[in-house]
Structures are given as C-alpha cells and as structure tokens.
A and B are shown apart, each in its own frame.
Chain A
Amino acid sequence: MNKWNLIVDIAKCHDCNNCFLACKDEYFENDFPPYSSAQPRMGQRWIDILRKERGQFPRVDVSYLPLLCMHCDDADCIKAAEGGAVYKRDDGIVIIDPLKAKGKKSIVESCPHGVIWWNDELDLPQKCTFCAHLLDEGWDKPRCVQVCPTGALEFVHIEDLEMQRMIESDKLDTLHPEYGLEPRVYYKNLYRYTRSFITGSVALKDVDECAEGAKVFLKNGSGKVIETTVTNNFGDFKIDNLEVNKSKYSLGVEYPGYQKHEISIALEDSIDVGTIFL
C-alpha cells in the first residue's frame, strides 16, 4: 500500500516562509470536516521553521529546519487520545478528529516534538494534516510542498519498502529517533542543523598572501587523523559533520616551506578558528 512521506532537505531550505504562509492560507477561516477545523489568524505554526547560525563572523553558515507533524507510525498523540480522537489512516496520515478531540488539551502535551497547537476559541488541539482533504481530492502534494521554491520539500506516495531504500541511498535521518515514534518525515543533510564544523583560514605571514592548497588535518582525542582537507584560493577550509560533544580535537596545518602549525580545540559548537598565520 502506497503511503505518504515528506522529505526535507536542510541544505535547500532558506526560510522563505512560503510553506508557513501557504498553510495559513489553506486553513484560516476554512473548515474541512471531518479532517480539520479552521486555524486562528495568528498564533499557530503547523509548519514551523527553526533557525541555526553556525560559526562566527566572517565564516558562518545558516541552516533552517522545517518542523511539522511527523505523522508517526507509533504516535504518542494517538495513544494519549481516548475514543479514537486521534487516528492513523491507511496511507500514513495522522488526523485529530475535530469533533472527538474537543476539550482534550492533553493531546497537545503528548507530542514530544511540540507540533500540536491548542485553539482556545474552538477548544481544540490542531496540527498539520498533510492537507489530507486536498490529497483525497486528487492533489499530489500538500500546500507547503507546492510553493517551496528550492525543492527543499519533497512529497512521495510510495510503499514503505521503497521508502526504506530511499532512506539508505539518500542518507536520510529522522529528528529525535530516540523517541521511537517511527515518523514519516525524513531529513536530508540534517548535519547542517545538528552537527558542527571547524572552519578557518590559512595565510602566509611573510608575503601576506592566502595559502592556497595548504593541507589541513583533524585529529581526534586519541591522536588519530579523522579528516583531511585542503585550503582553497582564499586559504579557507571547513570540516563539517562533527559531533557536538565537547570533544577535544587537534587541528594541524602544513604548507611547503613554512613551519607546521597545530592548535587544540575543545569543540562546544561550530567554530571559526580565525586566520592561522604561517
């Protein structure tokens, strides 16, 4: 049976907010019984976008993480809701019944991702429905995916086995796999948001030139070289996808005709080590 899945490429999201605004457009003052009741004008973010800047001026990057209901196969909200107030469809979509869920504030707290919102006026928990009402009418994607300009959001309708293959071939991750919820939202390049980099620049002091082609190597705490790279024409280097666990690293730089240079780094967050003058 084909099921719906959303794939989010962190490297392609740039916070244009088209997804956020298209979602508001679909649901503000629009009821779609039995799928959903209207969203209020302000206050809810069925698709939220989290921002992370990494590094320090001038060597920085910025990543954005679209966060929405994961339509988990083992959802906590379904377990928390009595009387089928939250249920999962055969195609994978999780729906909060807008009638049965009335008054049940505990459904909001049940979600560890925090993607369920409380509507005070309607006395109702609400969240993303993958625009199930549109999919059932023949749309092949929800509103957010339709308006994404970079292709950061991709929506697929495939068998779980094929999705597994895609997870392996495209190196997809889920958010907080330790929650054990089996989400249907997958992230590509998640390291851009969850991991750190070490960046910097190498320069030749005597001639005041950028050192292009300098060898940079990164050793872990036990002295093993775990990454090597080469500086570009600006002398810049960037070693990414490092764990944020306060590990101790040693960064070494080599350039023919100049003294080797080594610095130790206790990595707490992405860091620009600045310019290393040889």
Chain B
Amino acid sequence: MGTIEKLTNGTTGGPVFVYVQDDKIIRITPMEFDEDDAASWVINARGQEFSPPRKTTISPYSLAWRSMIYSPKRLLYPLKRVDFDPNGDRNCENRGVSGYERISWDEAGDIVTDEIKRIKREYGPAAILSTPGSHHLWGHVGYRHSAYLRFMNLVGYTSAEHNPDSWEGWHWGGMHQWGFSHRLGIPEQYDLLEDALKNTDMIVFWSSDPESTSGIYSAFESTIRRQWLKDLGVKMVFIDPYYNHTAGLFSDKWFAPRPGTDNALACAIAYVWITEDLYDKEYISTRSVGFDKWKDYILGVEDGVAKTPEWAEKESTIPAREIKALAREWGSKKTMLASGGLGGWGGACRTSGGGDWARLMISLQAMQGLGKPGVNIWSTTQGVPHNSKFLFPGYAEGGISGDVDNSAAGYRFVYRMHKRPTRSSINSPAGQHIPRLKIPECILDGEYEWRGKGFCGASIEAQFHKYKYPADGYPEIQMYYKYGGSFIGTMNETNRYVKAYQTDRLPFVVNQSIWLEGEAKFADIILPACTNFERWDISEFAGCLGYIPDSTTQVNHRVISMQKKCIEPLGESKSDYQIFAFLAEKLGLQDVYTEGGLTEMDWVKRMFDASDLPEHVSWDEFFKKGYFVVPIPDDYESTPALRWFAEDRKRDTPDWGPHPESQDEFGKGLQTTSGLIEFESSSLKKFDPEDEERPVIPKYIPSWEGHRTKELYDKYPLQLISPHPRFSFHTMGDAKDSWVNEVKDHRILKEDGYYYWIVRLNSQDAEKRGIQQNDLVKVFNDRGAVICAAQVTERLPPGTVHSSESCAEYDPLGKPGETADRAGCINILTPSRYITKNSAGMAPNSCLVDIAIHEGEVA
C-alpha cells in the first residue's frame, strides 16, 4: 500500500481534506485549522465571550462524495441514442425510451459541432437553446458562470434564464417595499450576530429551517450560534406547516398555519399591534411612507373586513388567542424575524402569495423598528465579523467568462482577471432569451410572453420589462444543449419537461452530465463530465457573492481552498472546461476560449493572482498548504445592517448597492423612490396600480390553489409543501447509488430492493386512507402521480403533506411524461402557473394533491 497524501478540495457543503492512496480517494473530511491559521473572531456580549471552533463544518451530502465519485451510474464515455441519426431519422418521440451506444469523443464532438454549425448557418445562433442547473459542483473556475458561460457566449445561444427561485416573493414583492434590487429583494446582514448576541430576546423563525438548508453552502456553521443564543435565554418561535429540523432542536413554540395563509397570520399580528399600540410609531412616521393606507386595510376600513386574529384563525387554523399572545410577546421584546433561511428566502415566498408574504415580513419588522439594536430581519446564518475588504471573487463574479451582463463580473472583478472577457448580444435584454420555467411552452407551442429577464437585479423596474419568444427577428429553437439533468426533479409540473423532449420540434438534444440520471436519458448525445475531485480548481467556502454580496458572512472563518486534482477523471470523462475546449477546437474557437491555450491550472493561478491572496501568501505556500484562512483586521469595526437606516445616517456597511443612479443622495436611504420603506409601493403604483393580483399595499389574497378553491379542494384535499431536501443538495447526493439513499429520512428501502422517496402525512390523514408507516402510496393530482413511501407523523397538521423537491432520478412506470414516477419527482405535481400574471416566479407550495395506497405493480 502506497503512502497516503492529504490534499484539499471544496464542496457545496464546505471545504474538505481529501486523503488519496494508490490513486484512489479513501477519505473525505472537514478541515481543522492549526496555530498558523488566522485568529478567530471574538464577540463580547452579555458578559461572555463567543468565538467559533477552529475548524470547518460539513454537510451530510459532502460526506457521501466517495459514493458518488465512484458511483456505478457515472458516465464514463460519450453516448449516442441508438435510433438517432443526424443525417437520417432522428426519432425524437423516442427520447427517454431508446437505449444508448458508446461512441468516441471525436464522433460525439463531430456530431455536436456539425449540428451547431448547421443550425447557425440555417437559422442563426439564437436557435441554440442552453441552460444549466441552478448550482454546480464547487470550484470557481469550473463553475457554470465561468467555463460554461464563456463557451456559450462564444458559440452564441438563447439562454433559458433562471427565475429567481430562491428569492421569488422577495424579488417580485419585497423589492417594491424596500428596494435591495442588487440583492433581489432580500436585505444586507452585516454584523447581526453581534447585534443579536448583545440585544435580542426572541427570534421568530418564519418559513425558516437553517439546520436543513444551511443558509446557502455554509454547512453547519450557524448551528453553534443558535446554541449560543438559546443558552442566553433567547426564545425561539417557529412558523412552518412542518415541525422542521431547526424547530426540533430549538423550538419553544410551533405554529403550523395552513399553507398559503401566512399572510393572514401576518395581517392579524399587525392588527394587534395597531389596536394595542405595540409598534414603533416614530420609526413608521420617519422611516416609511404609506402606512396609513395599509393600516386602513388591516383595520377593515378599506374592504369592510377587519384582519382580526379571529378572522386569521378561520384562514390559518391558528387559534386567535395564540395569535394575540404571539403578537403581544413579539411587540414587547427585541425580536429578530428569521423570515426564510438566509435573512430572506423561505418556502413561503414560493407560493401564490409569496410577494405579499415578503412585503408583510418587511412591514412587520418595520413596525418594530427594523435596524434598531436587536431588531432586524436575520436568520442566524449570515452576519459574523467579516473581512469584507479582502477580495476573493465569488463564483457569481463570472470566473473565466468575464461576462459583465450575465454575471457580477462587472462590479469589481473583470478588471483584475481578464484579457479577453466575453459577452453575448443574444443573451441581453435586446436579444432573445426564454424563461426556464416555460421551456416546454416555448418548444412545444413556439411562442410565449412574460415579464422580467431572469434575475432582475439591475433595478426595481427591470422586472416589469416585457419579453416575447421568438424575439423580433430571432429564430425558433432548433437544439437544446442541456448542462446537467435536474429539471424533472426541480422545476414545476415537470411532465411538461419530459414531453418537451419527445417532439421533432426539437431536432437535436445534447446533455453534459456526470451521472446517467434525470434528463440525461432524454438526449441524443451525452457528453461525460467529471467531478471537481478530478480536476484543478480554486474556491471559497460559501463564496457565491454576486446577488448575495459578502455571502461569506455565513461562515465562521473565510476559507479559500486550493481544489487539488485528487485522481484522474474516471473512464473517458473530462472536466467541463476540457469538454468546452475540445468542442471549441472544432468550431475554430479554441484559441479564444482558452485565451491562447491556458489550462485549468493556468486559470486557477490567474484567479489567485487577481484576488488579494498574493498580498498575504505566495502561490507556493498556498498550493502546499491547500487552504488559506482570511484574517480579520485588528481595526475591524462592526457596522450592523440597516442600523444606518434606522438612525437616518449615510450607509456605513460594505454592501454592493444600491446603484448611485437610484438615489437622490448616494448612500442615504433605501433604493425606493422615497428612500424609505414603502407600505404603498411607488414602483407598483407606477407600473399597474389596478393589478389586483399584486396590489400596491401588501394584502392577504387566498391562494389560487388552496383551501378556498373549492372545486379543486374537494377533489384534492391535501395541501402539499415541497421544501428543499435535507440530506442532498438539491439533486447532488440523491439516487446514483449514493449513501445518502440509506438515510432513513431521505429514502426508504422496501422489500423490492428499491429506495423510495418519502411523503410525510399526519396520522389522521393516514388512518382515513388506511396508510401505515412505510406503506407504498401514490401521491397524485391532475398533473400526474408519484410513488412514494409514507412517513406517518405528528409533525404536520391534518390536511398538510410534505415531500421534498429535487429527486435526481426519473423512473416512470410506463410511458415517460404520462405515467407515475417511481423515483420520487414530486415536482410533477406542482403548478406551472406563475405567482401572479406579472410575477414570473414559481409557486410550488400552492399545490393540492391526494394520497392513496399504491395498488399494482411497480417493477
């Protein structure tokens, strides 16, 4: 047995040490620091010192990487669908059914590039549709904003722009209450840990489960902070239809409103505060506008319906007396509102009332003096003492693409990194794009109209802009280059996505994936990519930045990792960069794409040089050690988020926005026209004051698929919520013979040897249907059916059921797109309707289903 090398790498669940022996990865662990690494921060509060352990934490799926790297489902060589002939019959209707045969890289590359050339000549480059998944294996050079984006910009393509999935209600609603468009509607979070440790008495976690969702990419860094706060006596209240895992550990009180009725609960809390004088009148009068108009709505002056706790009880099922007790406690204590898991976000923002929910969260905390000591919107996940001056780019800063339009490269990073940055005239507001959520409509119907291009962060107004497909003068889509295979498990009403593949309206499909799973099985040509452990890269822990500026205030130490290539790519798989360089050569683009032949390691070195790392450590030292902990300056000054706003001062936090153009005096006030929190939104008033689906003041509007849509509710009486899974990072970690499948709260192994996805339901609903623990059941509505294993629980009220989104596999019992899925793609059942007609976001948590014992065969 050879010697064991201890290398370093990075994952979506934290940086890691990787042990390699005889060209095999034998062990992956979190990092532990030594005395040479930078000192940890110390916060002094309530007579105690708080300092984090000197190590990184790790997410469960990151510990399962060996089972995924060495999975039998790995794509080891290029594949061609057996009945696809680009020069003859394409048999598009057989996609998802036909088998595959192995071909060489040259043959695969020739087919792909010949098709690209043909389509560009006959139709133009915008006939190429391409889109990646929302995330990527870690590493900023290899990230989708980097290697993939650079390639696509040079080839030319129509992008299926991502809806702002994590943000939805904050993006389409919250922004109109307080701006923050540069954060897509969620707020800054600087130094709020210190603020909370010093000042906060209570935290209301509303649609928030940080133990499961890890902020974003930050593993269990924040767990210890919640423990500190709990030990200080901070009360923790949870509002969530499910008794979630953070509640399980910390809850002092749990409220489970009917899905889609959070807004009624919020209005009733405001009602108590108004009628019992429990809000900060001085703050409201100086830091906001339009309160009186909204107050009239709450008191029933506007519509004759007072939003009393009794009224809210009828909508939400929460007893009126408990609503009163919550409102009184919240209104008399310094309370943090953890709305969502990041300080913003949350499943409640992905419902039909998502926009109003976000606005109501801001409204409630504004009534309590948002920004004053101990009072803010904060979810415990961001806001540690942080060196914001030290520049290491987030993956959202464009990596090697330099795309200043479609990444955050233009803010500060492209100038340091690039000789030949890339841009795209097609993927611009003046070109052509389509919404990711409507890929099926665009392919199958050939036309669509919507408002908002992807993540509309440039301004509050950007989301109002109307678009159509095909754009004037642009061609219809002729091919789909899909990067990754996750959409059947992650989009909405996903039988549509299956059907969109099985049509000759889409003559050519390429899929670039690591495992043969999900959508990969619908391609004509499959290109095998390798994992980040099989290539060189560089990254930072939780370092996305971009629309989450200083996202690294989530982690207890800023850690930059040298992602060392631990083993050679398995089989004939290649890194994404190598695949793109290979295809680029056949397109005459190789020199441009690789900037004269740069290797991945060259790009890593360039990113190192473009960051502030060289000021602290040499390349050789950094490479040898494999990681660097960013020091906190001795003269670090805490600048609590939005304290400057509460005190009517110039902004002193290091935030990246708002853009000076949107402010009358730069640095003062919020991005809204008034500069204040707008209960009556001036932006919505300017756009469409008569829009009843998205009114100018935040309201409770019963869901368009919920307990009030009587006909549908009679047919499907269970409300389904589909939160993020706990043990996989969306599809990363699930299926593909990963160890995660053995986690008992992730999948259930049944006698037939299959690992079934879980649906959770209350014991009363189960008993009514004759369902017992671990029974195979069918979850269904008019959109389709999914076979799951039942978990009978008391962690849900009767009438609400829970099944996570993002199953990685797709396994229909019969015809794809029409028969029940055995793998667990619960997203087949969720609605494809937009949140409102002008809010082009997803609302999966407004979904009605029923559940029954599954009769019949599964195999």
Contacts and interface: CB of A to CB of B under 8 A. Distances in A.
Interface string B729-749: 000000001011111110001
**Which of A42, A56, A149, A236 counts the most B-chain CB atoms under 10 A from its CB?**
A149
B308 to A, nearest CB: 11
Contacts of A61: 248
Nearest to B329: A233
B328 interface: yes
A49 interface: yes
Nearest to A151: B227
A26 B794 CA distance: 35
Contacts of A151: 227
A56 B211 contact: no
Interface string B295-327: 000000000000000000000000111101110
A79 to B, nearest CB: 31
Interface in B47-64: 57-60, 63-64
**Which of A17, A28, A43 counts the most B-chain CB atoms under 10 A from its CB?**
A17
B321 A203 contact: yes
A15 B244 CA distance: 12
Given A149-B220, A149-B223, A233-B325, A16 B66 contact: no
A14 B248 contact: yes
A85 B122 CA distance: 74
Nearest to B743: A17
A245 interface: no
Nearest to B800: A57
Contacts of B90: none
A143 B27 CA distance: 10
Interface in B145-161: none
Interface stretch (B249-257, B446-454, B600-608): B249-257
B796 interface: yes
A151 B727 CA distance: 19
Contacts of A93: none
Contact of A15 (B245, B329, B737, B798): B245
Contact of A150 (B227, B329, B744, B745): B227
A209 B29 contact: no
A57 B322 contact: no
Interface in A13-47: 14-18, 20-22, 24-26, 28-30, 41-43, 45
Contact of A18 (B60, B65, B66, B796): B60
Given A14-B211, A14-B245, A57 B63 contact: no
Interface in B1-34: 26-30
Nearest to A50: B744
Given A42-B741, A233-B329, A57 B762 contact: yes
**Which of B65, B249, B256, B740 counts the most A-chain CB atoms under 10 A from its CB?**
B249
Contacts of A57: 256, 762, 794-798
A60 B249 contact: no
B67 interface: yes
Given A18-B63, A203-B321, A210-B321, A56 B794 contact: yes
Given A150-B227, A150-B249, A209 B321 contact: yes
Nearest to A209: B321
B67 A16 contact: no
Contacts of B321: 203, 208-210, 235
Interface in B322-349: 322, 324-326, 328-329
Contacts of A233: 325, 328-329
A125 interface: no
A149 B13 CA distance: 13
Given A55-B794, A210-B321, A147 B67 contact: no
A59 B256 CA distance: 11
B190 interface: no
Contacts of B256: 57-58
A272 B64 CA distance: 39
A74 interface: no
B406 to A, nearest CB: 35
Contacts, number: 130
B611 interface: no
A171 interface: no
Contact of A25 (B57, B63, B320): B63
A62 interface: yes
B203 to A, nearest CB: 16
A70 B214 CA distance: 32
A224 interface: no
A17 B739 CA distance: 11
B794 A25 contact: no
B744 A51 contact: yes
A60 B795 contact: yes
Given A15-B745, A57-B797, A233-B328, A210 B66 contact: no
B793 interface: yes
A217 B322 CA distance: 23
Interface string B484-495: 000000000000
Given A233-B325, A234-B322, A143 B29 contact: yes
Nearest to B793: A53
Interface in A50-76: 51, 53, 55-58, 60-62
Given A150-B223, A208-B320, A233-B328, A41 B253 contact: no
B254 A49 contact: no
B736 to A, nearest CB: 12
B480 interface: no
**Which of B220, B321, B326 counts the most A-chain CB atoms under 10 A from its CB?**
B321
A14 B793 contact: no
A146 interface: yes
Given A14-B245, A58-B256, A234-B253, A28 B58 contact: no
Interface string B716-733: 000000000011000000
A182 B743 CA distance: 30
B67 A58 contact: no
B223 A21 contact: no
A16 B220 contact: yes
A58 B797 contact: yes
Interface string A258-278: 000000000000000001000
Contact of B739 (A30, A42, A150): A42
Contacts of B322: 210, 234
Contact of B67 (A28, A30, A43, A56): A28
Contact of A24 (B211, B319, B739): B739
A45 B211 CA distance: 23
B325 A234 contact: yes
B227 A62 contact: no
B325 A20 contact: no
A25 B220 contact: no
A51 B740 CA distance: 17
A234 B325 CA distance: 6
Contact of A53 (B59, B325, B795): B795
B243 interface: yes
Nearest to A60: B794
Contacts of B763: 56
A123 B227 CA distance: 45
16 contacts: A15-B745, A18-B63, A21-B739, A21-B743, A25-B28, A28-B739, A29-B26, A42-B741, A53-B795, A55-B794, A57-B795, A58-B254, A147-B57, A203-B321, A210-B324, A236-B253
Closest 6 pairs between A and B when the two form their complex, measured CB to CB = A149-B220, A21-B63, A210-B325, A14-B249, A24-B739, A62-B248
Given A17-B727, A57-B762, 12 more contacts: A14-B245, A18-B59, A18-B60, A25-B28, A41-B737, A41-B739, A57-B797, A58-B797, A60-B794, A149-B220, A234-B325, A235-B325
Interface of A: 12, 14-18, 20-22, 24-26, 28-30, 41-43, 45, 49, 51, 53, 55-58, 60-62, 143, 146-147, 149-151, 203, 208-210, 212, 233-236, 275
